[in-house]
């Protein structure tokens, strides 16, 4: 038979433990809800004379996003290319692709990378209504590009811790 004092201590300790669980798990109950859509899903850089068109602009992309249950946190939309533009063994470095974006300051310009995700947009708190931004990619044209049909993909990622 346990002494009465020890039983009471057990009950208190158990209560503290359960309370700790509820506090630490609280973020999971209100996990961020993020939505991101990108349209169109395909862009093309038209063939052009590098002397007259040193930078080839693709059609603009609309990025729609929404961030909820993120009252005190930050969020970020990043871009990461899956690789260089490739056509068989020929490549065009993906760093030759840059972008401009609006509206600022949420959205920012940058240069694509295949190794490190680059920030396209960032903010903090919630974005209760679906909000849009516009991105225009540009390819630096060059006489050094060999003939071919090059392609790659770019992943947009909205993250919110």
Partner 1 sequence: MKHLKSLILGVTAAAIAAAQGVGAATATGSVSASVTVSAMAKLTLSSATVTFANADPDTSPIIAAAEGALTITAKGKTSTGATIALTLLAADDLRSGGDRIPIANITWTASGPGFAAGTMSKVTAQPVGSWANSGSRTGTQSFAMVNSWSYAAGSYTTTAAYTLTAP
Token pair 């506090």 is at which residue?
23
- Residues comprising the chain, all counted: 161
| Nearest distance, CB of residue 58 and partner 1, angstroms | 7
| Nearest distance, CB of residue 107 and partner 1, angstroms | 15
Listed in sequence order, the residues at least 6 apart from 69 whose beta carbon sits closer than 8 Å to its beta carbon are 30, 31, 32, 33, 126
State which of residues 1, 28, 105, 129 lies at the interface with partner 1 (CB under 8 A). 28
State which of residues 56, 57, 117, 140 lies at the interface with partner 1 (CB under 8 A). 56
Over the window 69 to 108, marking each residue x when it contacts partner 1 by CB under 8 A and - when it does not, the resulting string is ----------------x-xxxx-x----x-----------
Contact set for partner 1, span 107-126 (CB under 8 A): none
Residue 149: is it exposed, middle or buried by C-beta count within 10 angstroms (0-12/13-18/19+)? exposed
User: Is residue 36 within the footprint of partner 1 (CB under 8 A)?
Assistant: yes
Q: What are phi and psi of 61, to 5 degrees?
A: -115, 135
Q: What are phi and psi of 135, to 5 degrees?
A: -125, 135
**Cis omega (within 30 of 0) for bond into 147:** no
Over the window 132 to 151, marking each residue x when it contacts partner 1 by CB under 8 A and - when it does not, the resulting string is -----x-x---xxxxxxxxx
Reference 62, options 41, 33, 44; nearest CA is 41
Please identify, among the stretches 42-50, 101-109, 123-131, the one whose residues bind partner 1 according to the rule CB under 8 A: 42-50
List residues binding partner 1 (CB under 8 A). Answer: 6, 9-10, 13-14, 16-18, 20-21, 23-25, 27-28, 31-38, 40-47, 49-51, 56, 58, 61, 63, 65, 85, 87-90, 92, 97, 137, 139, 143-161
């Amino acid at each position: 038979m346990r002494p009465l004092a020890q039983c009471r201590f057990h009950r208190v300790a158990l209560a503290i433990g359960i309370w700790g669980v509820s506090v630490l798990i609280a973020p999971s109950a209100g996990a961020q809800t993020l939505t991101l859509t990108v349209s169109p899903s395909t862009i093309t850089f038209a063939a052009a004379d590098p002397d007259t068109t040193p930078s080839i602009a693709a059609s603009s992309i609309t990025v729609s996003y929404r961030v909820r249950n993120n009252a005190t946190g930050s969020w970020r939309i990043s871009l990461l290319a899956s690789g260089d533009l490739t056509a068989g063994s020929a490549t065009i470095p993906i760093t030759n692709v840059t972008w401009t974006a609006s509206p600022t300051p949420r959205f920012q310009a940058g240069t694509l990378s295949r190794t490190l995700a680059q920030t396209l947009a960032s903010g903090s708190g919630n974005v209760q209504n679906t909000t849009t931004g516009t991105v225009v990619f540009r390819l630096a044209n060059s006489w050094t590009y060999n003939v071919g049909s090059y392609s790659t993909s770019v992943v947009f990622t909205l993250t919110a811790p």
